[in-house]
Amino acid sequence: MEEPLSPRESGRWVAERSRDVFIEEEGVRRAAEMLYGLRASEVFTPQGWKKMNPLAPTFDSDLHINWVFVVDTMNFSFWPDREDQQCTVTHRGSTYSGYMALCAAVTRAMDEGVPITDAAYMASVSLEALGRVLRSDTATPMPMLEERRRALNEGGALLLRYGGSLRRFLAAGDARDAPSLIRRIVDNLPSYRDEAQHEGKKIAFYKRAQILLADFWGIMEARGEGSIPDLDYLTMFADYRVPQALVYLGVLRYSDSLMSTLKEGALLPSGDRREVEIRGCSIWCVERIKTELWKLVEQRDGQRSHINSALIDFYLWPYAKEHSKEMAHIPIHHTRCIYY
C-alpha cells in the first residue's frame, strides 16, 4: 500500500500544482516581519498555550491530560449552516462558539461530574448521553453529533488498551519523536487518518493528529513525556479558519473563480481539488513564513528561532478569531467532514 507524503511534503506537492490558490511571496515576507516583532511573545511558549486554552485543566492526573484527547477527537466541523444559527455553550460566566464551545462543553461536563475523560466512558457513551454533554444554549446543536460519538467510542476503546491514558499510549512506542508519534496516532485511530489523493499522489494533512501532539505538549508544559523531540516536524493545522487569516494577511490569494464559489457558500466535498488546494497551500504558505522568520532571526539576532509552524498556527488561529469582523469579507471554505 502506498504511503502518503508527510503533511509538509503534501503541502509542497499541492502548492506546486495549484490552480486556484497561490502563495504571495511579498506577503510571506511581511508576515515573517510581523512574527519577528513578536518573537519573544509568550504566545510561542507552553505558557502561551495555557492562555489560549483557558478551559483546559492542569496536568495533575491522566484524566485531566485526557481532556486534550477528548477535545481533539471531536475537533472538527463547527461552522453553522447559517451565521445567525450558532451553537453556543455558556460556562463559568462566558459564552463560547465554534471550537471553544466544544472545550466549554467538555469542561462543563467534568465540573458536573460526568466522567467524560474516562476511557471506559468514552468507549461506551451513547448518542443521547453525548448530546447532553454537548448541549447548546440555542436551538442549534453542535453539528455531526453521531460522527463525534463514533470517534469518541473509537478513541476510548484504544485508550483502554493503555490503562485509559493518552500519556501511556504516546509513551508506549519504541520511538518518541514527533514523526513516530504522528504515525502511531494515525495507525491506531482511523478517524484521525486525514488523507487524500491529489494529482496522482497520496497525500496527508493529519490536522487532528498533529494538533493532538501539539496540545499534549502544551498541557504538559513541554515537561516529562511532553518534551517531544523533533516537534519542528509539525506543520500548521490545515483547517478552514487559518486560511482565511492567511488571505487577509495577503499571504494566500484565491482565484476569482474560487473566491466567487466560496462567497456563494458552496459546499466543497472532502478531497475536492479546491479544498485540497486551500489546505495544502496553507501548509506550504506557513512553511515559507517559518523559513523567512528563521532567516531573520539568524541574520539579526545570530540565533536559531524556536518558532515552528505549529506555534505559528497557535498565533494565527486566535488572530483570525480576534479579527473576525475585519476579515468577514473573506469567506471560509465549507466542507463537512471529521478531519477538521
Q: What's the pLDDT score for residue 84?
A: 87
**Longest distance between any two alpha carbons in the chain, whole Å:** 57
Alpha helices in the chain (DSSP H): 7-17, 25-37, 46-52, 62-73, 98-111, 119-124, 127-133, 145-160, 166-171, 178-188, 207-219, 242-248, 256-263, 273-301, 309-322
Evaluate whether 338 touches 206 at the Cβ level (below 8 Å). Answer: no
Q: Quickly list DSSP for 283-297.
A: HHHHHHHHHHHHHHH
What's the number of CA atoms in the CB half-sphere (13 Å) around residue 44?
A: 16
Catalytic residue (one of 72, 118, 215, 239): 239
pLDDT at 2: 87
- Non-local (6+) Cβ contacts of 21 within 8 A are 15, 252, 253, 254, 255, 258, 274, 277, 278, 280, 281
Q: Are strands 252-254 and 21-23 parallel, antiparallel or unpaired?
A: antiparallel
- Distance (Å, rounded) from C-alpha 49 to C-alpha 119? 24
d(CA 128, CA 145): 10
CA–chain centroid gap for 175, Å, is 23
pLDDT of residue 203: 98
Handedness of CA 80, 55, 230, 296 (dihedral sign): positive
Helix axes 62-73, 145-160, angle to 10 degrees: 140
pLDDT at 83: 84
pLDDT in tens, the chain (340 residues): 789 999 999 999 999 999 999 999 999 999 999 999 999 999 999 888 988 999 999 999 999 999 999 999 999 999 999 888 999 999 999 999 999 999 999 999 999 999 999 999 999 999 999 999 999 999 999 999 999 999 999 999 999 999 999 999 999 988 999 999 999 999 999 999 999 999 999 999 999 999 999 999 999 999 999 999 999 999 999 999 999 999 999 999 999 999 999 999 999 999 999 999 999 999 999 999 999 999 999 999 999 999 999 999 999 999 999 999 999 999 999 999 999 9
Cβ-contact 67, 110 below 8 angstroms: yes
C-alpha cell at 241: 479558519
Distance CA 338, CA 336 (A): 7
pLDDT at residue 1, as a whole number? 77
The answer to whether residues 92 and 45 touch, using CB atoms and an 8 Å cutoff, is no
Residue 78, classed as helix, strand or coil, is: coil
The SS3 of residue 195 is strand
20 is catalytic: no
* Cell 453553522 -> residue: 80
